[in-house]
Amino acid sequence: MTDVLFEPNPRLKNKALFTANALLNIENRTIKISIINATNRQQTLSEGTKLGIVTQVSSTIGVTIPSNYLTERIPEGKACKELIPEGKGANESNNLSFNNTTTLHEKQHQCRECYRKFDTGNELFKHLRNKCYPEEIRQQINKLTEHISDDKQREQTLKILWKYGKLFDIRRPSKIDIVLKNAINTGTHRPIHTSPYRKSNKDQEILRKETEKLLKNGIIEHSTSPWSSPVVLVKKKDGTTRFCVDYRRLNQITTKDAFPLPRIDDIYDQLTKAAYFTKFDFKAGYFQVPLDKSDRPKTAFSTRDGHFQFKVLPQGLSNGPPTFQRIVNQILGPNRWKHVLAYIDDIIIYSQNFNEHLKHIEEVYSLLKEANFKLNVEKCEVARTEILFLGHVIKADTIKTDPNNIHGLTYTREPTSAEEAFRFVKAAEYYRKFIPKFSTIAAPLHKYSPATLQQQKNNKK
């Protein structure tokens, strides 16, 4: 057996979970830790949750922190899987007494990836920048600041990005620490079953590979559910195929979630007051939200290889957008409408000056990291003075239309059916505030709306 000193992660207190500093024994590479849940509800510690730091104890008087620290992420609050030495380059050992409340690791800066410790933030920054993250992530993070001409400002921004670099690390699938409950409320309605759509052999092979990938990543699981919705494969512009489930029948019997999405014009009124902007979206945001076990059977779908159901929030549910909006609002808290806004999975941070903007970025990144969200680094833009957000180009006191969207509307072919005419009007309405007398101009096309056409049929009867 080996004696170790366990020091708890102070962030556990944010969840009202408490455990004490303790001298423990390692036996068969495991230790037992007691955790007090001070809430009146059950809490789950996800695999990979960091419970604390384990340091080896010498046989001499007092507690000695040797040169190779032993630290580990402990799964499910049970026992550590393996104690991993920090490796080469560890710092000199220091002596601590049990009465000393200031530990060495509190004085140092620790890499969250390999747990190596550094005496200064600059040393940690250099380590993260050159070693610990994959080459692809390092290149993407560096690219985020290429537009910043001031060297000092670029370096300040990079330090924050490297500090929260784990937000961009998507090598392993990740789920947030919030579980959805009753997201698909169908009341007492009997289960709905729709047979799978017929597909070509080529599409069947695509479907098989996609299903295997979703199983491997923990997105879906095998199911015995009486519910079933058909799968559709949608071709994207880049030639790849998107896996979708047709939940239209399920949506018809689902009680609608009335949680509001923010008004677009309110968002733009807020953003035009700022001078600096940072935007990002989540990497497969819905798939990062765990679904309660009681709702999973309703998401079931079938292929020729089996019957499956989602473990996370799938695309295509009518309650998906309001549900995701509620979660993001909850995470961002009172910061919303002050220096950060969210429209479903599109997030923007806005500030009046650069130094203030850095503080706001770090504050929001800290909240997202605490929730265990992952970001799509390829769709992030940081510390911009002009930015494209929700189809509009925004900078201080100015808002313009996205030229690409206007080009698409201008050069669209002339509608040849009532449905196409109505779709064109709805697309143009998004920019109606930029078009004088829009209602008058578009009036002749409103007769093609489904509601108007139905009324005309009723009048004829």
CB 354 within 8 A of CB 382: no
Give the pLDDT score at 348: 95
**pLDDT tens by residue, 249-274:** 999 999 999 999 998 889 988 898 89
CB 55 within 8 A of CB 70: yes
Mean pLDDT over the full length of the chain: 78
- Assign 136 a pLDDT band (cuts: 50, 70, 90): confident
The pLDDT of residue 384 is above 90: yes
- Assign 41 a pLDDT band (cuts: 50, 70, 90): low
Give the pLDDT score at 72: 37
Q: What is the mean pLDDT of residues 411-432?
A: 77
Long-range contacts, stretch 351-357, CB < 8 angstroms, 24+ apart: 351/274, 351/275, 351/276, 352/273, 352/274, 352/275, 352/276, 353/275, 353/276, 354/153, 354/276, 354/383, 356/276, 357/276, 357/278, 357/383
Give the pLDDT score at 186: 93
Hey, is 449 helix, strand or coil? coil
**pLDDT tens by residue, 412-421:** 778 788 777 7
The pLDDT of residue 107 is above 70: no
The pLDDT of residue 356 is above 80: yes
- Assign 63 a pLDDT band (cuts: 50, 70, 90): very low
Higher pLDDT, 381 or 51: 381
Nearest to residue 30, comparing CAs of 58, 10, 9, 51? 51
The pLDDT of residue 86 is above 80: no
Domains, the chain, with CATH or none: 2-113 (no CATH), 264-291+318-401 (3.30.70.270), 403-460 (no CATH)
- Assign 97 a pLDDT band (cuts: 50, 70, 90): very low
The pLDDT of residue 185 is above 90: yes
Indicate the pTM of the whole model.
0.67
The pLDDT of residue 304 is above 80: yes
Hey, is 355 helix, strand or coil? helix
- Which are the contacts of 272, defined by CB distance < 8 A and separation ≥ 6? 394, 396, 397, 398, 399
Instruction: Specify the DSSP element, H or E, that contains 306.
Output: strand 306-310
Long-range contacts, stretch 426-435, CB < 8 angstroms, 24+ apart: 430/391, 430/405, 431/391, 431/401, 431/405, 431/406, 433/265, 434/401
Compute the distance between CA of residue 139 and CA of residue 143 in angstroms, rounded to an integer: 6
Of 359-373, 417-431, 443-457, least confident by mean pLDDT is 443-457
CB 71 within 8 A of CB 84: yes
Residue 403 burial by CB count (10 A; 0-12/13-18/19+): exposed, middle or buried? Answer: exposed
The pLDDT of residue 50 is above 90: no
- Assign 125 a pLDDT band (cuts: 50, 70, 90): low
Give the pLDDT score at 104: 37
